[in-house]
């Protein structure tokens, strides 16, 4: 079909017909991508690995991507496929695992996917949920859900159908998974942030969550009785903050109970003095007061602000994301003390002659290159491994200044292994700019803005890419 069709000249009916055709083409592409993933796994079978080398530390090994019954695959191949598809290596690994499971373990579902009757996303969900099942159990789930996977029921019902079929395939295993899940309890902040707000996820037995919900509800009600006019959701967040200081939370609830249950005020003054009844208890219970500043914890955040002439008005908080300077002043400012440190002088980071990387270099590398430098790498952790782009030369008389800015590249452990022991090549013509070549000659440019594919037959899309390409003609030859 022609995807360059001028939409402005179409009638409403023709536009909808075109939309239907585009949707079909999209499904066809998704199916073809799954087929490619399977064939890529077949091509990269364990026979291509040298058995003697696979025993050495860090070397590429054969690994089963999918469930039981799927073949082993040379593990580095997911990095090559991911780079070509413009996705992370882990996403490519997941794609290959799902595709292998569909073709080998879920044939009924796969036939419907190939017939464009079932979306790839529905089928891949089933593949992930059945990965730990035996071949027979996966076949049971396949038979139970294949008919309903074409979208005839809403997603929530389909999800429940799949989970029910997985449990029914082996009740004993389902009970064992429940016990395993009970051991996988956690209470951690979420990774995602949105406009200066972050979540906190608690995974615990239901009675623990019920108790937590009850105490948060109680504290939110106390705040309302004390005159807090914020919406209930906001008061519940404040209640969580109160709970971060258990002693003050207990004091608040105790003081509130005394204040709430205090006796009524005695009668007001009259012309004739009267005496209070002998059995009248003294009025007790002071109104609780909350010092919110005292409740705020001491935390350390790494905040990046631009102090030049062209200010953007936006700051970046490591681990949280971008926020406006207005947000900092309104929300963080009243409760925080700031230590201002100038940005490290990256250009002035003198190289060293040792293989070990100094901490000052690590900090500078993180500022200059905060993400994994492998094509479409996603990790932004400060604990990434720092690789020497040009391998460090050991020996009696190694070259001087090998460990320095311009010869570092942060990477995850997997990508570090791919770079060191795979057939990938990388050059860093300028500090913080990396050009990679995969085992089949495809080039990728990685810098602080992300990853771009450098087409073999297409002109670079910017002058910067042109400069880099010319600097790396030897690499691309």
The domain limits of the chain are: 7-183, 189-263+281-295, 303-335, 346-476
Answer whether 290's CB lies under 8 Å from 220's CB.
no
Give residue 281's pLDDT: 45
d(CA 30, CA 120) in angstroms, rounded, equals 6
Angle at 210 between CA 205 and CA 212, to 5 degrees: 100
Of 30-39, 267-276, 399-408, minimum mean pLDDT range = 267-276
- How confident is the model at residue 61, as a pLDDT? 93
H or E stretch covering 197: strand 197-203
pLDDT at residue 381 above 70?
Answer: yes
| Helix and strand counts by DSSP (H, E) for the chain | 18, 13
Q: How confident is residue 312, by pLDDT bands cut at 50, 70 and 90?
A: low
SS3 state of residue 124? helix
Give the range among 37-41, 213-217, 323-327, 353-357 with minimum mean pLDDT: 353-357
Q: Band of the pLDDT at 207, cuts 50, 70, 90?
A: confident
Share above pLDDT 70 across residues of the chain, in percent, rounded to a whole number = 71
Cα separation, 295 vs 243, in Å, equals: 9
Say what the pLDDT of residue 264 is. Answer: 59
Query: What average pLDDT does the chain have?
Result: 80
* 424/263: higher pLDDT: 424
Q: What would the mean pLDDT of 179-188 be, rounded to a whole number? A: 79
Closest CA to 124 of 37, 24, 39: 37
Look at residues 360, 334, 359 and name the one whose alpha carbon lies nearest to residue 346. 360
Residue with tokens 């799927």: 70
How big, in percent rounded to 5, are the helix, strand and coil portions of the chain?
A: 45, 15, 40
Would you say residue 121 has pLDDT above 90?
yes
Residue 262, token pair as written in the block: 């205090």
C-alpha closest to that of 81 among 475, 440, 446, 464: 440
Alpha-carbon distances, residue 32 vs 68, 74, 167 (angstroms): 24, 21, 31
Of residues 178 and 106, the one with the higher pLDDT is 106
Tokens of residue 59, six digits: 């070397």
Instruction: Say if residue 366's pLDDT is above 70.
Output: yes
24 falls in which pLDDT band (50, 70, 90)? very high
In this prediction, residue 268 has a pLDDT band, given cuts at 50, 70 and 90, of very low
**Strand runs labelled E in 375-415:** 385-388, 408-411
Q: What is the pTM of this model?
A: 0.69
């Amino acid at each position: 079909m022609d995807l360059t069709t001028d939409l402005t000249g179409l009638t409403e009916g023709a536009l909808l017909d075109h939309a239907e055709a585009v949707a079909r083409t999209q499904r066809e592409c998704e199916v073809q991508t799954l087929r490619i993933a399977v064939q890529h796994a077949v091509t990269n079978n364990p026979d291509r690995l040298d058995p003697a080398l696979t025993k050495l530390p860090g070397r590429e090994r054969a690994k089963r991507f999918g469930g039981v019954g799927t073949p082993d695959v040379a593990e580095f191949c997911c990095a090559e496929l991911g780079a070509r598809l413009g996705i992370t290596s882990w996403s490519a690994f997941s794609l290959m695992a799902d595709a292998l499971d569909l073709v080998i373990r879920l044939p009924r579902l796969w036939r419907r996917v190939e017939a464009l009757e079932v979306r790839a996303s529905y089928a891949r969900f089933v593949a992930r949920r059945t990965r730990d099942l035996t071949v027979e159990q996966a076949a049971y789930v396949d038979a139970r859900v294949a008919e309903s996977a074409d979208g005839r029921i809403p997603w929530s019902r389909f999800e429940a159908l799949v989970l029910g079929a997985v449990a029914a395939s082996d009740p004993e295993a389902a009970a064992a998974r429940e016990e395993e899940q009970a051991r996988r309890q956690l209470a951690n902040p979420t990774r995602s942030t949105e406009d200066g707000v972050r979540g906190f996820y608690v995974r615990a037995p239901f009675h623990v969550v019920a108790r937590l919900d009850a105490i948060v509800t109680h504290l939110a009600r106390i705040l309302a009785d004390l005159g807090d006019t914020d919406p209930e959701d906001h008061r519940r967040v404040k209640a969580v903050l109160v709970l971060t200081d258990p002693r003050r939370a207990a004091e608040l609830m105790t003081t509130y109970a005394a204040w709430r249950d205090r006796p009524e005020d005695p009668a007001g003054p009259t012309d004739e003095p009267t005496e209070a009844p002998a059995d009248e208890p003294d009025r007790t219970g002071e109104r609780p007061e909350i010092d919110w500043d005292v409740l705020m914890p001491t935390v350390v955040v790494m905040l990046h602000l631009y102090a030049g002439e062209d200010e953007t008005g936006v700051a970046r908080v490591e681990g949280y994301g971008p926020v406006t300077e207005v947000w900092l002043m309104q929300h963080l400012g009243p409760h925080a003390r700031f230590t201002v440190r100038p940005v490290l002088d990256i250009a002035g980071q003198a190289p060293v002659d040792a293989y070990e990387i100094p901490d000052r270099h690590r900090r500078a590398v993180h500022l200059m290159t905060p993400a994994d430098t492998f094509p479409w790498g996603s990790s932004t952790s400060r604990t990434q491994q720092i690789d020497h782009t040009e391998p460090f030369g050991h020996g009696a008389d190694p070259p001087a200044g090998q460990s320095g800015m311009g010869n570092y590249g942060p990477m995850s452990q997997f990508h570090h292994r791919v770079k060191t022991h795979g057939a990938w090549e990388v050059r860093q013509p300028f500090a913080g700019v990396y050009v990679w070549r995969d085992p089949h000659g495809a080039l990728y440019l990685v810098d602080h803005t992300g990853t771009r594919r450098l087409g073999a037959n297409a002109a670079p899309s910017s002058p910067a890419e042109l400069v880099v390409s010319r600097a790396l003609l030897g690499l691309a030859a």
